[in-house]
Amino acid sequence: MNATHLECSLTGERYEAGRVHNLSKAGKPLLVRYDIAAARRTLTRQSVADRVPGMWKWRELLPHDGEPVSLGEPETPIIALTNTAARDGASTLLVKDEGRLPTGSFKARGLAMAVTMAKQFGVERIGMPTNGNAGAALAAYGARAGIETVVICPSETPEINVTETAAYGARVYVADGQIDECGALVGKGAAEGLWFDCSTLKEPYRLEGKKVMGFELAEQLGWEVPDAIFYPTGGGTGLIGMWKAFDELEKAGLIRSKRPRMYAIQAEGCAPMVRAFERGDEFAERWEHAATVATGIRVPKAVGDFLILRAVRESGGAAIAVPEGAILQAVDDAARDDGFLFCPEGGAVLAGWRQALQRGLVRHDERVLLFNCANGNKYPLVDRSRKLVLGEADPAAL
Ligand SMILES: *Cc1c(COP(=O)(O)O)cnc(C)c1O
């Protein structure tokens, strides 16, 4: 194992590797650090290409040793949306489809890692607030690891997530508040020793699973990062994780210094990062009365706010808010144009790219990668079917 220590993301204070952690003493996320010089000796373009595909092949830059708790996480494909690109006059548009992972969302990568670590450390019970997908992934990997799970969701959490989470045997509660308020209750239980708190970025290993998106896309694109990445931003673990991954890849000699511009996409009904970005703030204030159809990015307050804003600014990207109508329109358009069903958060990302084109933030000939973080089939869709009485039907009129 190459993890040497963990580090407070704000103060740089060091913490011991190989044990459970939550936030640093400063109340900020911890980041896992590695002996990258050692990793370099065995982690090469060739060795990576020769390994069994999947997130676990990046072992030199992952915190676990031994058998992972795994449901067979595939490498997710990058798909060209040719007609969607053409509709807006762009030459290419790529989407990395994380909906192919177990439990139908990219949360599987993070929770596979967090649960693997928790099992290694002998954790018996995990608590988590969730808008849906994280709870389902926690419950699935928890079931596999023999760890009990307690999941608290806001009332607007999609029904399918709530029932799926319960199907894996988790204790699921639907509560009358936002995700950060559910998180406060989970924190209280953790302080009382009832369970281990696995909230976004309050546990350091989930991020290490999510950063694999960055490793994987670099390899898939021939070790050449795209010009821009558009990411649906709630707690921001994916964006922060990829930013960390690119640094590690460069230090390991696998990519050069070029970085993609990172675009954090939020819904107008919950856009704390966009507001902070536009004001030039380092931290983001809580967003009151958060509401959007894209529930995965309905996060009023993120503990990693400054890490999201730093990555976006350092990369030369931006934080962009999109209206609800544009989200639904984008989902509709891509489904009809390219046969690709985005989840609503993915629709927000496509809408964000369209807005960025119009504002001149990206060019029509740039290589842009969008993220679709969940399977579109997990969400309610409009019923556009028509009724038919078979005895009276004239096939020519259909
Ligand atoms: C959780 C989630 C997000 C937000 O991910 P973060 O990396 O935590 O910002 C986006 N889309 C979907 C579908 C999600 O489930």
Query: Are 142 and 95 found together in one domain?
Result: no
Asked whether residue 323 is assigned to any structural domain, the reply reads yes
What is the chain's mean pLDDT, rounded? 96
Q: In percent, how much of the chain has pLDDT > 90?
A: 96
Q: What is the pLDDT of residues 263-289, one digit of tens each?
A: 999 999 999 999 999 999 999 999 999
Q: Separation of 47 CA from ligand 1 center, angstroms?
A: 31
Query: Are 156 and 257 found together in one domain?
Result: no
Contacts for 364 with CB less than 8 Å, ≥ 6 apart: 88, 89, 90, 91, 357
Q: Separation of 132 CA from ligand 1 center, angstroms?
A: 10
Q: The CATH number of the domain where 200 resides is what?
A: 3.40.50.1100
Query: Are 339 and 227 found together in one domain?
Result: yes
Contacts for 222 with CB less than 8 Å, ≥ 6 apart: none
Pocket-testing residue among 105, 244, 266, ligand 1, by greatest number of atoms within 8 A of Cβ:
105
Least confident of 146-150, 249-253, 303-307, 376-380: 376-380
Query: Are 221 and 168 found together in one domain?
Result: no
Query: Are 94 and 122 found together in one domain?
Result: no
Order the strands of the 3-8 sheet from edge to edge: 14-16, 3-8, 30-34
Q: Counting atoms of ligand 1 from 1, which one is nearest the CA of 233?
A: 9
Please state the rounded mean pLDDT for residues 24-48. Answer: 96
Among the residues of 102-227, which ranges form H helices? 107-120, 133-145, 159-167, 179-191, 205-210, 212-220
Of 205, 224, 248, the one marking the end of a domain is 205
Q: Separation of 373 CA from ligand 1 center, angstroms?
A: 6
Q: Separation of 329 CA from ligand 1 center, angstroms?
A: 20
Q: Separation of 211 CA from ligand 1 center, angstroms?
A: 13
Residue 275 CA to chain centroid, in angstroms?
21
Q: Counting atoms of ligand 1 from 1, which one is nearest the CA of 239?
A: 7
Q: Counting atoms of ligand 1 from 1, which one is nearest the CA of 234?
A: 9
Q: In percent, how much of the chain has pLDDT > 70?
A: 100
Q: What is the pLDDT of residue 92?
A: 94
Enumerate residues lining ligand 1, CB below 6 A. 105, 107, 133-134, 200, 232-238, 296-297, 343, 345, 373-374
374/368 Cα distance (integer angstroms): 19
Q: What is the pLDDT of residue 363?
A: 98
Query: Are 270 and 170 found together in one domain?
Result: no
Please state the rounded mean pLDDT for residues 375-387. Answer: 93
Pocket-testing residue among 111, 297, 322, 377, ligand 1, by greatest number of atoms within 8 A of Cβ:
297
Q: Counting atoms of ligand 1 from 1, which one is nearest the CA of 343?
A: 13
Q: Separation of 91 CA from ligand 1 center, angstroms?
A: 27
Radius of gyration of the chain (CA): 21
Residue bearing the CA closest to ligand 1, atom 14:
296
Asked whether residue 139 is assigned to any structural domain, the reply reads yes
Q: Separation of 308 CA from ligand 1 center, angstroms?
A: 13
Query: Are 153 and 269 found together in one domain?
Result: no
Asked whether residue 6 is assigned to any structural domain, the reply reads no
46/109 Cα distance (integer angstroms): 23
Query: Are 164 and 142 found together in one domain?
Result: yes
Asked whether residue 250 is assigned to any structural domain, the reply reads yes
Q: Which amino acid is at 290?
A: A
Q: What is the pLDDT of residue 165?
A: 97
Q: Counting atoms of ligand 1 from 1, which one is nearest the CA of 345?
A: 11
Residue bearing the CA closest to ligand 1, atom 5:
234
84/354 Cα distance (integer angstroms): 10
Residue bearing the CA closest to ligand 1, atom 8:
235
Measuring CA to CA, which residue among 244, 262, 275 is closest to residue 349? 262
Provide the number of structural domains found in the chain: 2
Measuring CA to CA, which residue among 278, 292, 280, 287 is closest to residue 320? 278
Q: How confident is the model at residue 66 (pLDDT cuts 50, 70, 90)?
A: confident
| 2: pLDDT strictly greater than 90 | no
Asked whether residue 122 is assigned to any structural domain, the reply reads yes
Q: How confident is the model at residue 65 (pLDDT cuts 50, 70, 90)?
A: confident
Least confident of 1-5, 145-149, 324-328, 333-337: 1-5
Query: Are 136 and 179 found together in one domain?
Result: yes
Query: Are 300 and 254 found together in one domain?
Result: yes
Q: Separation of 184 CA from ligand 1 center, angstroms?
A: 19
Q: What is the pLDDT of residue 128?
A: 97
Asked whether residue 53 is assigned to any structural domain, the reply reads no
120/116 Cα distance (integer angstroms): 6
Of 205, 230, 253, the one marking the end of a domain is 205
| 352: pLDDT strictly greater than 80 | yes
Asked whether residue 41 is assigned to any structural domain, the reply reads no
Query: Are 184 and 233 found together in one domain?
Result: no
Asked whether residue 253 is assigned to any structural domain, the reply reads yes
Least confident of 53-57, 158-162, 336-340, 352-356: 158-162
* Beta strand pairing call for 318-322 and 228-232: unpaired
Q: What is the pLDDT of residues 184-206, one digit of tens each?
A: 999 999 999 999 999 999 999 99
For 153, the domain range is: 105-205
| 55: pLDDT strictly greater than 80 | yes
| 1: pLDDT strictly greater than 80 | no
Q: What is the pLDDT of residue 12?
A: 97
Q: Can you give the pTM of this predicted structure?
A: 0.97
Q: What is the pLDDT of residue 45?
A: 98
Q: Separation of 161 CA from ligand 1 center, angstroms?
A: 13
Q: What is the pLDDT of residue 64?
A: 87
Q: Separation of 232 CA from ligand 1 center, angstroms?
A: 6
Q: What is the pLDDT of residues 85-132, one digit of tens each?
A: 999 999 999 999 999 999 999 999 999 999 999 999 999 999 999 999
Please state the rounded mean pLDDT for residues 17-31. Answer: 94
Residue bearing the CA closest to ligand 1, atom 4:
234
Query: Are 148 and 91 found together in one domain?
Result: no
Of 205, 233, 262, the one marking the end of a domain is 205
